[in-house]
Every structure is written in C-alpha cells, then in structure tokens.
Structure 1
Amino acid sequence: MNILNRFPLSAALLTVMLSVSFALHADELQDATQLFKQGQQTPALNKVNNYLANKPRDAQGRFLKGLILTEQGKIADAIKIFTDLTLDYPELPEPYNNLAVLYASQSQYDKAKSSLEMAIRTHPSYATAHENLGDIYAKMASQAYDRALQLDSGNTTTQTKLAMIKDLFSDKPRNKPSVARNPAMPGRPFAEAAPIAKPVAAAAPVVAAPVAAVAKPVAPAAPAPAPVTTAKVTGKTTTEAPALSDKARAVQQAVESWADAWSDQNVKKYLAHYAPDFDTPDGESRKAWAETRKERITRPKHIEVQVTNIAVDFTDSTHATVKFRQNYRASNFKANGGKTMLMVKSGNNWLIQEERTR
C-alpha cells in the first residue's frame, strides 16, 4: 500500500493563501492551481515556475510547487521545497505535515515523527497532524513487533498485537468524512482541495439506553441560581466585562497580561507568566521549550493574540482553571480555538502551570 494514500498533503494552506493574495501575478498562480487540480502537472509546474521567477520567496507559490513535485514523484525535490518553507515560515504547520508525509513514504518514520511534532507544536489544534502522528506511532510499533517476532517467533501476544496493527493499515474501505471547515479561519478547509484524500473511520453513534420513568413527588421549585458572569478580554485592550470578584479579576488580568506580552513579542515578559513547575509539552525540558517559544514569538513580523469568553473556576484559594477562546494571527497564519490553563498563585501573581488546547 502506498503510504501517501494514508497521509494527506496539506493543500488547504494553498487555498487560504490564494484567498487573501493580492499579488500582481495572482492570476498566474491561480491558473497553476487550477491546472494542478485537473491533474495537468507539467503545465502547472511551468506556470508556478514563471510565477516564482518574479516572486522567489512567495510561500503559496513554493507550497504549490512542492505539491506538484510530489505528484510527479520527485520526492527529494519536494522535501527540499517543504524544508525551506519550514525555515522561512516556521509558524506554518502544513509544510511540516507534508514533510512527514514524504518521509513516511520513504519509511523514515523517525523524521516523520519529528516533523509532525513540530507541526503540532506550531498549531496544537491541527487535527490532521495529530492523526498522522498516531499513524506514524502505529507504523513504528509494527516495526518493533516484527523485530520482536524475529527474536521470539512463538510469542503469541506479540503476534496478536502485530495482527492488530496490520489490520489497522489494511486497505479496507472506510467512510469518507465531509469537508471540515474551521469557522474561525474563513476559506481554510483542512480537507478541501487536498490532492490525496485520507479516509477517516467515522465514530459510531452513541445510543443512550432507555431509562424507566420513576414517579416522584413534585418538589417546590427552587429559586433560580444567580447568573454566572463571564469575563471577556479582546487582544491588547479589555472590553467592558461584568463585575467579577477581586480574585477572579486578578486571574483574568494575568491572562490578559500574558496575551499582551505575546502580542508585543516580548519574550521575557511572556515566559515570566509560566510557573517554575510548568508542565511542558511531551515532557520537553524547560530550556528547550523556552527556546522554541522564543523562536516562534520573534520570527513573525507581527503577532496579534485575542482572548475572549474567559471563565475562571477556583479549585482552592491558590489554584484556578481558566477556559477561554484564543484567536492567534501572525504574518501568514491564523488560528482560533479553545484553551484551558491551570494556574497557581505564587505570591501576588497568578502563573500558568499547565496549558491544554481544546
């Protein structure tokens, strides 16, 4: 089975970039895109090369060229295109994902794994990268089980596990999902326009078991609970919000200050919002995580972070769970999603102990 049929290349990036491009040669690039979608790879490549002759650093043109080269089977050339894009535009997750696809096609699963981890670190809510990473782990597990059976061919437990992995990667037909669109990123369909479709097994519907009705005396209606107020913070300026307790206000202000530091690209102030025992992603060292964050914050020409619908829930007097919507916008990338922070009070400050993307 061709590994490229399991891991989709991200042509969605091309779609969103074209939708906002006002470049002089945009028509030429759109013509190349149309030819590519029609399977006319050679004319498409000629068009995109003409476009890049005038705009050699243009991200969407280079991305399209990488897709065309992949379709033509020129894997080494495509890998170079996507690698260069990750260097010039490290805030974009799609080139990392496509690198992983190409590495996986060559059974270079360690490199594929690293590329997908970078895609997820750049865009934690990028579902395609998460799914592809799961497939890479399964492939690596299959290799390990194969080696184990070479050493102990009678190990029935390993045989069973290997059979399960191989069944996962069999060519059984799967249900094809509908096109997924992120409403916070107009015109950016993650699945639309991808030249290589990736079927995903549809989740089985959950059917609730019938519950027998039990007659109970009707209790007097309890008084309606007081409405819960939700603070809203937008970007660098705070919108008018309902009155909060002093403790909740302090937590909200900490989140606002964190967003301001990120928007200002003030790395020192940004990192100061994290507790000494912050739970870094994937068990990464604090130093390595901080270096990665520094690169991600300083690389774009500008960053704007907006947080809205902040809700604070206190576990005790020094611990709080904060949920909000985060809208991130950088030079060539936008993302929107839910985030949860576990925060701890240290002295007079509320610091981030853990981050989760919802």
Structure 2
Amino acid sequence: MTDMIRPHRPRAFALIASFSLCLSLSAQAAPIVFDPLDNTEALMTPGAYGDDLKQGTEALASGDSVAAQAAFMRALSRRPDDVVALLGVASSMQLRGERLAALNWTLRAIKQQPTDAKVLEAHTRLSLENGDLPAAIERVRSIVSAHPAAVPPGQALGRLYLLDRQPAKAVDELTRVVELPGSDATARVDLGKALLSAGRADEAVSVLDQVRAEMPGSSLALSPLARAEFARARPEIALAHLTSLEGLTSMSASDYVLKGDVLSALSRHQDAADAYARAADTGPADTLLALKHAQALDRAGRGDEALAAYEDVLARDADNLVALNNAAFLSATRRLDLDKALERAQRSLRVGGEQAALYDTLATVQIARGDTEAARQSLQQALKLDPGHASARERLANLTSEAAPAVAGVAQAAPARTVESPAEPATPRASDVMAPVATAASATAAAPPEEEAPVTAAPAAPERAVEPVDAVQDQADLSDALERWRMAWQGEQYNAYVDAYVADTSPIAGMSRKRWEQDRQRKLSKPGRLEITIESVEWTRIDDDTWMSRFVQHYASSNYRDKSLKTLTWSRRDGQWRIESEAAKTL
C-alpha cells in the first residue's frame, strides 16, 4: 500500500483520544500521540487556568474547535508561553483544517521546549500533513546538534528519517539514541523498525525480541517483530506474534494487512481474505489492499465474491493487469457478461504485453463466446510464446480433436495449482512483500499429473517436462533480485544494473536496446547521490517462468524527486530472474 497521509476527517472521539494530532503515518513509524493533559495533573486543581485547559480539552472531544481554541487562548492569556496551551490551540486549528496555522503554533511550542517529546511529535505530525518533511528534518537536526544528549530530539530525528525513506540514516541516529541515558523501550522499537526498513531483518529481530522479553505483557514490539519474522521467512512465528497482538489491543489496518499476507504465505486463503476484509473495515482501503482481498477470495474458491472484488479494483485502477486478466477469466468460466470479459482480456494484452498466460485467458473467453477459430489463434500464439504452457496446450488439443464442446473447454481448464508452503518458506522482506497469492492467471499453470485431463491430440509444440513449481521460493528469489536491481541503481553500478535485465531485448517499449543502454549509462554516470526506495510490492505469478511486480517507487537525486507506480515483468533465464520489460506511471 502506498503510504499516504490521510485527509482530515473530524471525528471527535478519535481526536480526544489522540488530541487531534494522531493521523496516519507510514507503517514504518510508530503513531505519534499527544494528550495535553498527560502529566499535567497539578494544573487541573480548581482555578481559572486549570479550568481553561479542561474546557478546551472537553470542547475538542465534542468537535467544537471554536470553543476549544477560545479556552486555550484564555489559558495563554495567563501563561503566554505554556506549551500545553500552545499545542491546544494548534489542535483546535487542525480540527478546522487550518494546518499551516496549526504548524506555526507548534513552532512556538518548540521555542519553549525544544527537547520535549510530545512537542516534537506534534510538530512532526503537522509537518507531515503540510508536506513540510525536509524542513522538519532540518529543524529537528539543529535541535539535536544543540542538545546531543537529549533523547527526544534524536528519537524524533530517527523517525523523520524513516518517514523520509532514509533508513540508513535512521539506523545511525537511533543506534546513537539507544545508548543515551534515559533512552527507553520505544527508542529500541524504533531502532528495530529502522533496521527492518534497511533490510537488516536479523538484527531487527534481535533488538525487538529483547524488548518483548523485557515487557512480556506489552504489545509495544509485537507488530514490528511480526514484520521482521515474516521478512526472515518465518510466517508461523509472525502469525503467533500477530495473534498475541490481537489479544492485547486493537490491531491497526496495516497489522491486518500483514496478517493477510502471512496467512496467504501459509496458503490459508480463506483466513487471509477475512484479514484483508478486517483491514478495509479498520482503515481506508486502497487499490493494493482491494487487490489482495480479491486474490485471496479467488484462491479460496469464492469466485463470485472474487469477481466482485476485482471489479472494485478496476473501479480504482482501470489498467490493473491482475484484475483485468482475472476478472475476464472468472467471467468466462461463469458465462457472465462475455462482451465485457472479451474487452478486458484484450485490454490485458495491451497493458501487459505479449504473455502466454494472457493469451490463454483470452482464449478462455473466446471459447465461452463460441468463437473457436479466434480461440485457436490465441492458443497458438500462447504456445509460440511458451511452448510448455500446459493449459494452452490442453485447450488447443481439445479444440483440434473436437473432443469437447466449447463450454466444456472452459470447464476442463487446468485448475489453479495450490502451492503448499514448507515449514519455513523463503518469504521476501516484509517492507516489500505481497504474500504469494496465485490468481486466476495461474489457472494456466500445470496441474499435478493425477489432475490433468488426457491430451487427445498431438500438442502444438514439443513436450517439455514440467517440474514442480515452488512459488514461495520463486518469490523469495525474485525479491532478492529486485533488491539487487535497486541497490545497483542506487549505487550507480552500471554493469550490475544492466545485468538485472534480459540481454536480448530493450525493457522499454519503442526504444532499441542500444539506445536504452546508452541512456542508462549516461544517467548512471552523473555526479551526485541517488536514493531509490520501493514499497508496497505486489507480486503476481503469470506462469512458471514469468512473474510481475508492481510497487511504489521513490526516486531522489540532488536536484530531482519523483514518485511513481512501477511495473516490472520478470523472466527466468538460465535459472536466473531478470527484468524483461518495465513501465512506470507518475503518481
């Protein structure tokens, strides 16, 4: 899921719980909570000043930002530099959507107490809302320079680095902070998150496990620890941590998404679908979550619900290749709106390019429509692209021998192969993962021998031995290949970068291989540092030797930044995964 700041939504109860400063952050950073009455019991004794604070807080609880601001301003008239009242005014303004004005009030609070944790957290929250992250980093960095022994500024800076997708800097700063006197478990949890974000899952588990052991009844470390264990290909342990978390506190939407990913890795697709549904109920749904839910329903055999879920994905993203292909397939097998199914199958080929699995789905639709000649041509093209494609070979044999009527041809399609996860599957890093959920496109995968329908005519291409496919291991290998590609690009290592791609074609449509190599060499030889980060990776298996990855990419150089949705098509060549094509859409 893309990590975005949620739009302002005035909900009084939630606002008083977090004093209106607790909006959604990246899953890599802990929520920042500010309560103006925390540790201020002495101020609540009878008297005008304490009454003003109490009235302001009660007004915020009811959603009355005008009355809240008036009460906090009365408190400031008595104590002009009081941080609690300053942040109360900021909260009141934030409740009305006046975020820039609210940010300015937190700046006044910082001048009064630059090393106070809650002041820094409130300022960070509003800086994020206002797109002011680089400036916030500079402000907090200057506070750290002036107060190097103070824990809150260093911890706030580490969190800001994480939010700015600079995990290496976050690790360095938080490693320094946890050694300071007064550092607590929250700083070590932040360090664990930073280590995980930096791809150092083993170290993250070591740090987080120590916190859990020291605080056995606390939920503080459980969510990041589950992510770290999942990154280490230990989904059973990750699930145990999530189960403990659910028993101790209310889980967040991102925790339910993680639970769905873990259950998918364990081939518990029904439970995964339920977890993704809980995630959508708990927080705002996005395209990636909707797609995960649809795939889990598909794999759980709930085809009608899966089709409706794919429709939801396409309403959000009309060019989502997985949803296009799978919705077309499910519609064909159910003989529902075959005109729309045909349009989607054809659109899949325009979006995803020449792929055997996409032609196989197109043929499935054409058979359902009774257009056997068009289906024959589609299947021949699928086998031209992949001579070992079992489903296309079977369908073409049935058409050639006329051994089955058109509708039966759909019914006899090889079912999607369920991948049984080993005890400790090699699952990719949690920050990058979409758990291996086979889709309707994988209905083209070879079924086990006892499930295959007999082929009654000679295949369109020479037989190829079909080896068992370990989709979990493939996805782990692909995640490693994706990380090597990212590191080669970020490190401006031209040879390693080019080696990540297949050698016999250009990955960019309309550009020759020679021109593409010249372009990459020119760009990778420019002076200056690059920062490439990726998140919300979604893996889709097309067939035994083809996968697709979609993810949000953040690119930053000394003079340019952008954010895009990138799609890479991966092909297994000589046992190695390499990029065959790529496409990007600016976000």
Q: If the TM-score is normalised by the length of the shorter chain, which range does it land in?
A: 0.3 to 0.5
* Rg larger for: 2
Kindly indicate which of the two structures has a greater share of residues assigned to strand: 1
Considering Cα pairs closer than 8 Å and 6+ residues apart, tell me whether 1 or 2 has the greater RCO.
1
TM-score scaled to structure 1, two decimals? Answer: 0.39
Kindly indicate which of the two structures has a greater share of residues assigned to helix: 2
TM-score scaled to structure 2, two decimals? Answer: 0.25
